[in-house]
Amino acid sequence: MTTITSRQHALVARFRAAARRDDEDVLLLDGVHLVAEAVAAGVQIDQVAMTAGAHDDPALRPLADRLMRAGAAVAIVSPPVMDAISPVRSSSAIAALGRRPIVTGNAMYFGNETLVVVAVDVQDPGNTGAIVRVSEAGGATGVIASGATADPFGWKALRGSMGSALRLPVVHRTSPADAIAEVRRNGCRVMATAPRGGRSLYEIDLTGPIAILIGGEGQGLTPALVDAADERVTIPMAAPVESLNAAVTAGLIVYEAQRQRGRHS
């Protein structure tokens, strides 16, 4: 175990590179909760930085010991170094560099149980992370980030998903068209969310393998994507509300889908 007091140390540069996502296979895991979730999920942790206070905290000692037993290099860093390592406004007591989980091609497809959320141009990392979180909580089988959607493995989105992205199959597809083609190959009906003009969430059949297209902040899904879907679904809203947050939309539909599947099973 080493002790680092210089902000110019090479370790600081490694953490900053991870925050920028210079290597898409390296994840910046910031904070006790996220590091613990990564360990529980079996994520490979290569490097850990923690303050002396965190290392001496009896509540955190089991986590530090488990990380070292798993082969992670643990460094004790001074508060100024942790300020340079942690990208959050109030730096965390612990941060780590881990390896992005490997997702196989069919990991999110389970026949009639398939329920995939496709985020399209969701540009806010917090929203992206929340979509992943609510998808896992609601029993979706996977999430596809497409188009200009914020990287679900960036540090902000990872904090937003609170570890869900480390367990639920999450992949990126360059274009929404690629994502739609993939889910269709795997037998999914494609549902496009629309603020108006679609069938009510409470009237549409959400059983069987489906993929739900969730549009980004502002314009939502493009007319072309809505037209390309098999069905258009609208969440009833009381006036004068005209739209919902992307993660709220995803959560409502995922939970309604699971309610219907439980009812029909």
pLDDT tens, residue by residue, 226-235: 999 999 999 9
Give the pLDDT band (50/70/90) at residue 263.
low
- C-alpha pair distances (Å), 87 with each of 52, 55, 232: 19, 20, 40
Using a pLDDT cut of 70, give the percent of the chain over it.
Answer: 98
Same domain membership, residue 120 and residue 42? no
Asked if residue 9 has pLDDT above 50, the reply is yes
- Is this structure's pTM higher than 0.85? yes
Domain count across the chain: 2
Residue 104 inside a domain? The answer is no
With b for 16 or more beta-carbon neighbours within 10 A and e for fewer, the 52-71 pattern comes to: eebbebeebeebbeebeeee
What residues make up the domain containing 48? 2-99
Asked if residue 265 has pLDDT above 70, the reply is no
Same domain membership, residue 247 and residue 180? yes
Residue 10 inside a domain? The answer is yes
The span from the CA of 200 to the CA of 42, in Å, is 40
The span from the CA of 259 to the CA of 265, in Å, is 10
Same domain membership, residue 150 and residue 95? no
